[in-house]
Amino acid sequence: MLTARTPDALDGTVGSGVRSAGVADVEGADGTAAQAVPGRTTALPGARGPRRVAVALTFAICALPLLIPSGPGNTGLADVGILAVVVTVAAWLRIKAVPVSVPYLLPVGLLMMAGAVAAYHSGDALALLPVVQDVFLLVWCACIANAVRQYRWLLAVVLRAWVWSGLAWAAVLCVGKMANISWMAGLSSKDGGRASLTFADPNLCANYFLIVVALILATSVVRGRWARALALCTVLLAIVFTGSNGAAIGLGVMIVVALVVGLVKRRGVVLATAVACLAGASFAAIAPNVDLNAVGAKASDSIQVLRDSLGRTDESSGSRTELATETFGLYLEGDLLGVGPGRTKATLSGQAAPYIKEAHNDYLATLVERGAVGGVGLAVLLVVVAFRVGRVALWPQDPEVRALVPRPQWLLALCCALAVAGLFYEVLHFRHVWALFGLIAGLDPGSRGQRPYARVPEGRLT
């Protein structure tokens, strides 16, 4: 039976912890032993290592959107930054000899094992490429988790880099779209007027900005009500310009979940449950009376922004329904091993299916491509992420974490939105999603390991 400590049992831990010389223990405000932050005249042992890690993390986070031009195996400039983080963090942790954990090791291990077996069964060597990508993303996630767990000021670095670079990229997209500069906004003939920045896919771009919205709301990076409102408007406008209906649905899910969890924390479970039931009943009463086809028809004859979003509702939902039916048919007609990672499109083509595309659905793609074992791995991954983000949102945190992430319920809401997004795209292939998983693992107050031995220096966030 899974318990609240389940994710800890699923992490691999190696190395032995050592205390850093020169960092004295002091009594914290809660009466427990805490570790003092070195003053300006006290050199932090191994400080050069963390500074290099901070530079690598900043570069990698800022470069996440740089997916075009692309190289072999869908690599991009973003992967250069990720590789720099992996090398820098691995070297630093080896020198410090601190405990190293690999979050999500068991579920991702199951997914990789199922993918490797399915690839061998299919006889397609290229089907092993997604398995290699799984390893790369897991290591990227583990590096972020260990870095922010060991030094909380690295958490500040990651959050600041992600929020401010996200705002900058959103501004670039908005300016490019409004000025009709195709290369700046990522406009292409195949996507119509939908902007994709440097992601090459408007839905992938919108998903990235959805995470930026949640981080603006969850963290204290952007201070002041009006500054935060302006930042949110900029990022939301960028999402509108992508024309992603899936991002709009995810945004709605995120807002509802965050409001309900906020009510639970402030007013208790009873009132939150009552409000949620009332909202659900209202939605159930109103939804049948809304003619989505009529809304889509009106939008298709309206301005371009509406044509590229609501105007595509009928076409998008119809094609995805047909694709889901064909993909699930592959699972029913196949065996328990799967057709091989990334081979849904090729398999549909071999069967002369009327609608040939990749699955665009994490749940169906995993079952069809990696078989029953892959489905189990995905289910375990969902459970582990749910446990971790639930503890981040609801459990007490250290003062430095509360200062950096004062509204963690938005992270829980974001993960719910990503779970819904998995019905529309394969989000487990997104680099920024695994960066988020690493951030959540680093914030998890229930994780095993030593307490961070360097907190955020006073004034660093001001």
pLDDT at residue number 234? 97
Task: Tell me what pLDDT residue 15 has.
Answer: 41
What pLDDT is recorded for position 455?
Answer: 46
Give the pLDDT score at 139. 97
pLDDT along the chain (462 residues), means of 10: 40 40 37 38 47 94 93 89 95 84 94 93 86 95 94 92 97 94 88 88 94 96 94 96 90 92 86 84 76 61 63 57 66 76 75 63 88 93 96 91 94 96 90 97 77 43 36
3-state per-residue secondary structure call for the chain? CCCCCHHHHCCEEECCCCCCCCCCEEECCCCCEEECCCCCCCCCCCCHHHHHHHHHHHHHHHCCCCCCCCCHHHCCHHHHHHHHHHHHHHHHHHHHCCCEEECCHHHHHHHHHHHHHHHHHHCCHHHHHHHHHHHHHHHHHHHHHHHHHHEHHHHHHHHHHHHHHHHHHHHHHHHHHHCCCHHHHCCCHHHCCCCCCCCCCHHHHHHHHHHHHHHHHHCCCCCCHHHHHHHHHHHHHHHHHHCCHHHHHHHHHHHHHHHHHHHHHHHCHHHHHHHHHHHHHHHHHHHHHCCHHHHHHHHHCCCHHHHCCHHHHHHHHHHHHHHHHHHHHHHHHCCCCCCCCCCHHHHHHHCCCCCCCCCCCHHHHHHHHHHHHHHHHHHHHHHHHHHHHHHHHHCCCCHHHHHHCCCCHHHHHHHHHHHHHCCCCCHHHCHHHHHHHHHHHHHCCCCCCCCCCECCCCCCCC
pLDDT at 22: 35
